[in-house]
């Protein structure tokens, strides 16, 4: 566990990086104490932090409790990754694209043995693709569209009237966050390329990066050091043992493993993370949710915000960056990276109230980034702090 010695190292690194970073608002040696104070003030029971720079892990720290019994959250406690899963999955897909296994801009029809509407797989954990029968727009879908959230689908089909999957707009024409779109790409890899996504992640990402306690499907070994969660009202929620691999959001992981992921990507082949981070589609909504909200008035948009692959791209006072969150009613995660110096902060919260303090923590460590907090979290007071 990295305590003040690690923070002192971080301070030295911050000074060494002064050419590309604003000086943190407070000395890094005080950040740990400040985080604990912010947690107390906001009733946050548990969260964890990782800082990486230039492909190296600089700091890993866990704070608070992993369950209502008060057992300590540690660097190896298994936490729910939520939609950070999408960034992990996107990294797998860009590897496959770099190898020529899949073309990001080719129709998914080229990979599927049968037309998509001929599959009825909702009972297997996928969406009811057969609902698209008679709508040939599915043939316009490409892996890129599914990863940059321009599929035209709602977040999940069961949110639609009658729980029917359908297009809300023509594929590729605008951004609207969609878990079903990402799940469809998982389906294409499985049906079209014969790939087991969990096995490929273990072989291509988790194994090489040393992420030994990460998986998209439940393992009994996780139970020995497992984080439950807390809702906004302080109600505890037991950790869900996910029985299906879901590229849209079934990752179980630890802060130590996600530090390795952040460092591994940013220190890995440049063409891979640049393809993920490249702005590909402007985002014109005022906030991420509700996903199908129309374009916002210009004054309510985030200038320069765009979809990447599995992440969103932004530009701030320190230049280009990427952001990816992962949320549910008892989980709050965020990953922010700046291209300059490849500096990143990863925050995992097993208490959704942790999101209230994330903008301040990122600013303490990276300086002012220009990260799109209001777009990510909505129009709440703390999102602009």
Q: Answer yes or no: is pLDDT of 20 > 70.
A: no
Statement to judge: residues 284 and 203 lie in one domain: yes
pLDDT the model gives residue 32: 86
| Average pLDDT of the segment spanning 202-209 | 98
User: How many C-beta atoms surround the C-beta of residue 18 within 10 A?
Assistant: 9
pTM confidence score: 0.93
For 169-191, the DSSP string reads S-TTSS----HHHHHHHHHHHHH
Q: Tell me, what's the pLDDT at 28?
A: 67
Q: Tell me if the bond preceding 290 is cis, omega within 30° of 0.
A: yes
Instruction: Please spell the DSSP secondary structure of 261-322, one letter per residue.
Output: HHHHHHTS-HHHHHHHHS--EE--SSSSSSTT--PPPGGGS-TT-EE-SSSEEEEETTEEEE
Residue of 317, 293, 210 lying closest to 258 (CA atoms):
210
Both 64 and 128 in one domain: the answer is no
Q: Which of 110, 160, 106, 111 is nearest to 132 (CA)?
A: 160
pLDDT value at position 2? 39
Query: pLDDT (tens digit, 9 = 90+) per residue, 70-80?
Result: 999 999 999 99
pLDDT beyond 90 at 5: no
Average pLDDT over residues 272-294: 95
pLDDT, residue 4, reads 34
Task: Indicate the number of domains in the chain.
Answer: 2
Of the three residues 193, 226, 255, the one that is the final residue of a domain is 193
How far apart, in whole angstroms, are the C-alpha atoms of residue 248 and residue 178? 9
Q: Mark whether 221 and 287 lie in a shared domain.
A: yes
**Enclosing H/E stretch for 32:** helix 31-42
Is 31 inside any structural domain?
Answer: yes
Q: What is the pLDDT of residue 175?
A: 97
The pLDDT > 90 percentage for the chain reads 87
Are 308 and 216 within one domain? yes
pLDDT band with cut points at 50, 70 and 90 for residue 17 = very low
| DSSP 8-state symbol, 195 | -
The last residue of one of the domains, among 163, 193, 223, is 193
Cα–Cα dist 225/40, whole Å: 23
Residues 210 and 353 in one domain: yes
User: Taking residues 293-311, what's their average pLDDT?
Assistant: 95
Instruction: Answer yes or no: do 77 and 142 share one domain.
Output: no
Q: Which domain holds residue 99?
A: 95-193
Q: Are 138 and 10 contained in the same domain? A: no
Same domain, 220 and 346: yes
pLDDT band at 123 (very low <50, low <70, confident <90, very high): low
238-263 pLDDT, tens digit per residue, is 999 999 999 999 999 999 999 999 99
Could you give the CA distance from residue 314 to residue 245 in angstroms, rounded to a whole number? 30
Contact 76, 254 (CB under 8 A): yes
Q: How far apart are CA 6 and CA 8, in angstroms?
A: 5
Whether 184 is covered by a domain: the verdict is yes
Q: Indicate whether 379 belongs to any domain.
A: no
- What pLDDT was estimated at residue 7? 38
What stretches of the chain adopt beta strand conformation (E)? 46-53, 56-64, 79-82, 229-230, 236-237, 251-253, 281-282, 306-307, 312-316, 319-328, 331-338, 343-349
Whether residues 311 and 285 fall in one domain: yes
Instruction: Report if residue 132 sits inside a domain.
Output: yes
Band of residue 98 on the pLDDT scale cut at 50, 70, 90: very high
Q: What is the CATH number of the domain that holds 29?
A: 3.40.710.10
What is the C-alpha separation between 105 and 168, in angstroms, rounded? 21
pLDDT over threshold 50, residue 363: yes
The pLDDT score that the predictor gives to residue 31 is: 84
Q: With 60 as the cut, is the pLDDT of residue 15 above it?
A: no
Q: What are phi and psi of 328, to 5 degrees?
A: -150, -165
- Whether residues 182 and 307 share a domain: the answer is no
Last residue of a domain, one of 127, 161, 193: 193
Q: Is the pLDDT confidence value at 16 over 60? A: no
Decide if pLDDT at 122 tops 90.
no
- DSSP, collapsed to helix, strand or coil, labels residue 78 as strand
For residue 29, what pLDDT is reported? 72
Q: pLDDT confidence of 365, banded at 50, 70, 90?
A: very high
- What pLDDT score was predicted for residue 9? 37
- Tell whether 181 and 202 lie within a shared domain: no
Does the pLDDT at position 24 exceed 80? no
């Amino acid at each position: 566990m990295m305590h003040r010695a690690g923070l002192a190292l971080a301070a030295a690194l911050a000074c060494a990086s002064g050419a590309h970073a604003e000086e943190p608002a407070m000395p890094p040696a005080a950040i740990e104490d400040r985080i604990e104070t912010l947690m107390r003030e906001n009733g946050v029971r548990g969260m964890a932090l990782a800082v990486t720079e230039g492909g190296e892990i600089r700091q890993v720290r866990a704070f608070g409790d992993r369950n209502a019994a008060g057992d300590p959250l540690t660097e190896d406690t298994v936490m729910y990754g939520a939609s950070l899963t999408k960034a992990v999955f996107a990294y797998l897909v860009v590897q496959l694209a770099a190898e020529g296994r899949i073309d990001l801009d080719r129709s998914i029809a080229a990979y599927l043995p049968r037309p998509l509407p001929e599959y009825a797989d909702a009972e297997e954990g996928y969406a009811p693709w057969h609902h698209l029968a008679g709508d040939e727009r599915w043939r316009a879908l490409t892996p890129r569209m599914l990863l940059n959230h321009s599929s035209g689908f709602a977040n999940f089909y069961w949110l639609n009237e009658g729980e029917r999957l359908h297009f809300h707009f023509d594929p590729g024409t605008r951004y609207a966050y969609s878990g079903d779109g990402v799940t469809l790409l998982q389906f294409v890899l499985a049906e079209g390329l014969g790939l087991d996504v969990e096995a490929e992640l273990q072989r291509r990402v988790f194994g090489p990066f040393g992420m030994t306690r990460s998986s998209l499907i439940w393992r009994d070994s996780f139970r020995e050091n497992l984080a439950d969660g807390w809702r906004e009202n302080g109600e505890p929620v037991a950790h869900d043992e996910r029985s299906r691999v879901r590229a849209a959001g079934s990752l179980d992981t630890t802060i130590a493993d996600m530090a390795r992921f952040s460092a591994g990507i940013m220190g890995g082949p440049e063409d891979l993370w640049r393809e993920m981070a490249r702005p590909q589609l402007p985002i014109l909504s005022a906030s991420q949710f509700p996903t199908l909200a129309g374009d916002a008035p210009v004054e309510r948009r985030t200038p320069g915000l765009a979809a990447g692959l599995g992440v969103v791209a932004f530009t701030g006072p320190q230049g280009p960056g990427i952001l990816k969150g992962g949320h549910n009613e008892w989980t709050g995660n965020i990953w922010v990276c700046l291209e300059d110096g490849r500096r990143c902060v990863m925050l995992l919260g097993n208490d959704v109230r942790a999101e209230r303090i994330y903008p301040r923590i990122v600013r303490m460590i990276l300086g002012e980034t220009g990260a799109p907090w209001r777009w990510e979290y909505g129009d709440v007071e703390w999102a602009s702090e």
